[in-house]
Amino acid sequence: MHKIGIIGLGHVGTTVAHILLLKGLADELVMIDQDEGKVEAEYYDFADSFARTETSAVLKCNDYGELADADIVITSFGDIEATARTGDRFAELPINKKNAAEVGQKIKASGFKGILLNISNPCDAIVNELQKATGMPHQRIFGTGTFLDTARLQRAVGAHFGEAPQNVSGFVLGEHGNSQFSAWSTVRLDGQPISQFADAGQVDLAKLDEEIRQSAFRVVAGKGYTSTAIATCAVRIVEAIFNDKHEFMPASVYLEQFGTYIGYPAVIGKNGVEKIVPVKLPAAEAEKLAASAKTIKEKEDA
């Protein structure tokens, strides 16, 4: 029996809930949002679908006490309009810093002992804030981080060469935001270093890196928010936890050397962050990672 809580039923939280229910990953789903009318509406919309779906779940609404025995809690509160207006996920920091403190205290008071996965932006800073509020060990609280940005890298590189995104490996590292960077030293296409294609003049890596960084805002410009891709990433992480996959992926994890959460490769399993995997980066990329960590800390503390 799997029990999942979702806090924040905006576009992302609702999409996460929908995918979890369709895949049968939640036997019980606790939906929490400040807008009680929205929670009630989603309750009935999902419940009305169960007569036509292969799976169903017990739905519970706006009760933090129900999180006490939850396996996973997903936080997806926020104000996407602030990000859309500014083109900077840190525009959501003032409201989400307050939300993280309030939500974190309520999660702690509930007696929750599971794994907390954060989506709310700015993702890395908000994981920091949630960890402070809950006192949870770093292993059991982390964020989606650059898992989505890495998927965007796979899509962009694959599309450039007319190949499937699954044929591309490697990482986007750093902040899930403007200081992120494509770690081209880690990227492979069909098992071959991307550098060899760049050296042959087949791809402009600087141009592609900027395209990847701006991918979210291209989506936001067209429909006002992002939802499907990030929700899919969150659900993939849920599957890695429930199936104890020990799956290697970039996520927003706590790096001691920087004193902050940041997008970096880790192994995810039933205990959350099973281990963080050191990646040997060339000097230029190592500097970018350090600079991104500094950005997160400075903006969070401002």
Q: What are phi and psi of 90, to 5 degrees?
A: -70, -10
Written as six digits, the tokens of 237 are 């992480």
Nearest one of 27, 38, 28 to 60, comparing CA atoms? 28
Nearest one of 152, 162, 213 to 190, comparing CA atoms? 162
CA distance 196 to 6: 44
Residues of the binding site = 8-13, 33, 96, 119-121
Give the three-state DSSP class for 247. Answer: strand
Residues of the binding site for NAD(+) = 8-13, 33, 96, 119-121
- Specify burial of residue 187 (Cβ count, 10 A radius: 0-12, 13-18, 19+): buried
The DSSP symbol for 122 reads S
In DSSP terms, which residues pair with 169 in a beta bridge? 188
Catalytic residues: 176
Residue whose token pair is 């992120």: 180
Could you tell me whether strands 192-193 and 115-118 are parallel, antiparallel, or unpaired per DSSP bridges?
unpaired
CA distance 247 to 266: 8
CA distance 235 to 15: 10
CA angle 254, 218, 185 (to 5 degrees): 45
